[in-house]
Amino acid sequence: MERLKTREERYRREARVHRCLTGEYRMPLAVNGMKQCCRCGETKPVSEYYKDKSISDGLQCHCKHCDAKKLKQWRAENPERVKEHLRKYYVENREDILEQKKQYRQEAIKTEPYVYIATDRSTGCFYIGETTTTIKERFRDHKRFSNTGLGKHISKHNLSLNDFEIEQHQCLSVEESTALERKLISENIDNPLCLNERRW
Ligand SMILES: [Zn+2]
């Protein structure tokens, strides 16, 4: 396929195709917020067109729907080039992509603050904590830091979240959950089954 140099040339070609289909040689421009698509021929609101400064009305001559359709078709016909393009994009933007993924994950696991009491079903040992993440994620943290009360207990007995009974107390703010956590810990710290360590 010939490689078309500029956008203008591409649009001229579009217009020629349009003439073949409709018998008219023209590139329809936007009128009163509406514009006719040079591919599907439908008249649609200008919001259905991407911007293009090289066209006098500032809009592409084909609608978003046709644009997406053509891109989809091109992707289906050129799987190797798509793969190569994605690979190149990944290599060039690796840092950004990883950072985005990390941020997305952190957003996805964010919760309102709450206090949790995790009780080991087999021994009755329990741990009191507070968090603004899901309990699953919080346990992952405890596993990572096996020097703290619950982490130590988990790694010593090779436990997972399923081995615990979880009781959650929803709070309206971090201040509230911190205060509740402190209160519960100081009430239970002398209980031999309590896995928390004295912090205050
Ligand atoms: Zn269209």
Domain membership of residue 98 (yes or no) is: no
Is 177 contained in some domain? yes
For residue 31, what are the domain limits? 7-77
**Between 77 and 38, the higher pLDDT residue:** 77
Q: Are residues 62 and 20 in the same domain?
A: yes
Final residue of a structural domain among 77, 93, 127: 77
pLDDT over 90 at 18, yes or no: no
Which of 30, 54, 77 is the last residue before a domain boundary? 77
CA of 177 to the centre of ligand 1 (A): 55
Q: Which residues contact 54 (CB under 8 A, 6 or more apart)?
A: 6, 7, 8, 11
In terms of phi and psi (left: phi > 0; alpha: psi -120 to 50; beta: otherwise), the region of 192 is alpha
The answer to whether residues 129 and 176 belong to one domain is yes
Most confident of 49-53, 106-110, 183-187: 183-187
Is the pLDDT higher at 199 or at 97? 97
60 and 88 Cβ atoms separated by less than 8 Å: no
- Residue 31 CA to ligand 1 center (angstroms) comes to 16
Residue 46 lies in a domain: yes
Q: What is the CATH number of the domain that holds 144?
A: 3.40.1440
Domain-ending residue, one of 36, 61, 77: 77
Do the domain assignments include residue 173? yes
φ and ψ at 30, to 5 degrees?
-65, 135
* Cα separation, 143 vs 47, whole angstroms: 51
Of residues 110 and 18, more confidently modeled = 110
- What is the distance in A from the centroid of ligand 1 to the CA of 93? 32
Q: How far is the CA of 107 from the centre of ligand 1 (A)?
A: 37
Q: Is the pLDDT of residue 25 over 70?
A: no
Are 120 and 176 in the same domain?
yes
* Whether residues 128 and 63 fall in one domain: no
**Exposure string over 92-110, b if 16+ CB within 10 A, otherwise e:** eeeeeeeeeeeeeeeeeee
Residue 115: inside a domain: yes
21: pLDDT strictly greater than 80:
no
- State residue 1's pLDDT score: 45
pLDDT given for residue 44 in this prediction: 95
Give domain status of residue 21, yes or no. Answer: yes
Name the nearest CA neighbour of 49 among 30, 69, 71: 30
Same domain flag for 49 and 117: no
Centre of ligand 1 from the C-alpha of residue 49, in Å: 9
Residues 175 and 128 in one domain: yes
Count of domains for the chain = 2
- pLDDT in the model for residue 56: 80
Distance between Cα 39 and ligand 1 center (Å):
5
Residue 119 lies in a domain: yes
CB 131 within 8 A of CB 175: no
Same domain as 173, residue 115: yes
45-59, 66-80, 109-123, 178-192: lowest mean pLDDT where?
45-59
Q: How far is the CA of 22 from the centre of ligand 1 (A)?
A: 14
Same domain, 65 and 123: no
**Is residue 127 over pLDDT 70?**
yes
* Residue 149 · residue 196 · CB < 8 Å: yes
Confidence of residue 193 (pLDDT cuts 50, 70, 90): very high
Q: How far apart are CA 3 and CA 30, in angstroms?
A: 28
Q: Is residue 116 included in any domain, yes or no?
A: yes
As a whole number of Å, the end-to-end CA separation of the chain is 75
Lowest mean pLDDT among 15-29, 149-163, 169-183: 15-29
